[in-house]
Amino acid sequence: MDRAAIGRDAEDFACSFLQAQGYTIIERNWRTRLGEIDIIAEKQGALVFIEVKFRSSDRFGAPEEAVDRSKLRRLERLATAYMRQATRRYTGFGIEVVCVRRTPTGFSASVIPAE
């Protein structure tokens, strides 16, 4: 299986995981000239912009370690761009990281707020 296929599988798993946690998926892979947001979801009236990070092992660091200040600033700019064009108004917004890891039986995931 190639990297792109594994990445799609990890994102599919992240969406299922988020839905089980009460999120409603609004969009996937939303793109502008500024970049891409992996998942845009709603939870309890708030918009949540989600970066999915996958690791098959922690050999090169944990998934959450891959979201640095530069990536966070880009996500904030993308979130602002999305909210400007959104027709619906939300109670607030947040940025979260879904950390997906390979396990012997498939995938596991956790959600952490981006800092």
pLDDT at residue number 101: 85
Give the pLDDT of residue 5. 84
pTM: 0.87
**In the chain, what are the domain boundaries?**
1-61+95-115
- Each residue's pLDDT, cut to its tens digit, for the chain (115 residues) gives 677 888 898 899 999 999 999 999 999 999 999 999 999 999 998 899 999 988 776 677 666 777 778 888 999 999 999 988 888 877 788 999 998 988 888 888 888 887 6
Locate tokens 């939303």: which residue?
Answer: 30
Q: What is the pLDDT of residue 79?
A: 93
Beta bridge mates, 53: 99
CA geometry: angle at 60 spanning 114 and 36, to 5°? 45
- State the Cα–Cα distance between residues 25 and 40, nearest whole angstrom: 6
Concatenated DSSP letters for 91-114?
S-EEEEEEEEEEETTEEEEEEEE-
CATH of 1-61+95-115, one of 3.90.1150.10, 3.30.70.790, 3.40.1350.10, 3.40.1130.10: 3.40.1350.10
pLDDT of residue 57: 67
